[in-house]
């Protein structure tokens, strides 16, 4: 399996702002990694640069290689990456059924459009992914009528439909209540244990499930620190990343900031 991601000196401009500033990062397929950083530190821009919704500035020292390739047809690329983000969540407002939402992972869309041809194999794969997340009972429900937790589990099923080596999760627990939070974290733990790679982007320490071994701290669009979880998630390092005093407490493999 080639290296999932190799970014060298990547700069991404968004509006007047340099959202990624000379960012270099390498991640192997199947690794469980958290990207942690304050609001505005460039986390979502990093995910969007990987999925080619944002493009790096053209500079001689810049390179962006995904699964060993520099150039991609974006539809091929997206079929290799399973993405769960709040942008996708926000698009789940139309009358789309749970099954259609999961199936639309095949087309890189949200919902099935008239030009999409859904095969029996695709349906079987969708049901399999839904069974994995225990959301088969949501197949004929409208997605805009689901709870946040149900919607999130369907989006994870959608992301799994191609059996991607790694899931890219941008703040996957936003707006979930306690039971839904535990449910989604439990599903992510199961997936990690079954060998699916996780690249989890968050500003919440509590999202870092015990299976995540490596943490990358982002600050002002660049990597501030990258290493084993226990070395990165310290009081001193988190305080300087977030710019406020942070006290770190661990329990049952989870980290919590006070
Ligand atoms: P994070 O996900 O870590 O909160 P983002 O990657 O969303 O951060 O944003 C990084 C920076 O880019 C922020 O300063 C933000 O204001 C800016 N930014 C994000 N999206 C846009 C946009 N569409 N237009 C202009 N600036 C943007
Ligand atoms: Mg973000």
Cα 195 to Cα 32, 65, 162: the distances in Å are: 9, 22, 15
Contact 77, 143 (CB under 8 A): no
Residue nearest to atom 15 of ligand 1 (CA): 40
Q: What's the pLDDT at 33?
A: 98
Is 37 touching ligand 1 by the criterion CB < 6 Å?
A: yes
pLDDT tens-digit series, residues 105-125? 998 889 999 999 999 999 999
Contact 176, 204 (CB under 8 A): no
Residue 96 in any domain: the answer is: yes
Residue 152 in any domain: the answer is: yes
The parent domain of residue 128 ranges over 88-163
Residue nearest to atom 1 of ligand 1 (CA): 40
Residue 149 in any domain: the answer is: yes
What DSSP string runs through 26-45?
A: EE-TT-EEEEE--TTSSHHH
Residue 174 in any domain: the answer is: no
CA 170 and chain centroid, separation: 4
Atom of ligand 1 nearest to the CA of 171: 2
pLDDT tens-digit series, residues 143-201? 999 999 999 999 999 999 989 989 999 999 999 999 999 999 999 999 999 999 999 99
Please count the structural domains in the chain.
Answer: 1
Using the mean position of ligand 2's atoms as its centre, give its distance from the Cα of residue 44 in Å.
4
Residue 115 in any domain: the answer is: yes
Contact 36, 209 (CB under 8 A): no
Residue 191 in any domain: the answer is: no
Edge-first strand listing for the sheet containing 5-14: 17-27, 5-14, 63-66
Using the mean position of ligand 1's atoms as its centre, give its distance from the Cα of residue 118 in Å.
35
> Which ligand is nearest the CA of 40, by number?
1
């Amino acid at each position: 399996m080639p290296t999932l991601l190799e970014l060298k000196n990547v700069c991404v401009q968004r509006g007047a702002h340099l959202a990624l500033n000379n960012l270099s990062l390498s991640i192997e397929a199947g690794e469980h990694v958290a990207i942690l950083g304050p609001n505005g530190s460039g986390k979502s821009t990093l995910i969007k640069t990987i999925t080619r919704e944002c493009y790096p500035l053209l500079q001689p020292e810049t390179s962006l290689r995904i699964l060993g390739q520099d150039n991609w047809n974006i539809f091929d690329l997206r079929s290799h990456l399973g993405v769960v983000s709040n942008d996708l969540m926000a698009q789940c407002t139309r009358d789309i059924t749970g099954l259609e939402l999961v199936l639309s992972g095949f087309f890189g869309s949200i919902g099935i459009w008239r030009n999409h041809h859904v095969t029996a194999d695709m349906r079987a794969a969708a049901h399999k992914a839904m069974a994995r997340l225990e959301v088969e009972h949501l197949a004929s429900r409208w997605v805009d009528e689901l709870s946040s937790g149900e919607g999130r589990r369907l989006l994870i099923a959608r992301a799994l439909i191609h059996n991607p080596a790694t899931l890219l999760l941008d703040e996957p627990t936003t707006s979930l209540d306690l039971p839904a939070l535990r449910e989604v974290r439990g599903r992510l733990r199961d997936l990690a244990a079954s060998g699916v790679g996780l690249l989890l982007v968050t500003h919440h320490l509590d999202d870092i499930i015990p299976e995540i071994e490596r943490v990358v701290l982002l600050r002002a669009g660049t990597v501030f620190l990258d290493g084993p979880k226990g070395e990165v998630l310290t009081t001193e390092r988190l305080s300087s990343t977030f710019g406020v005093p942070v006290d770190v407490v661990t329990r049952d493999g989870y980290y919590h900031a006070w």
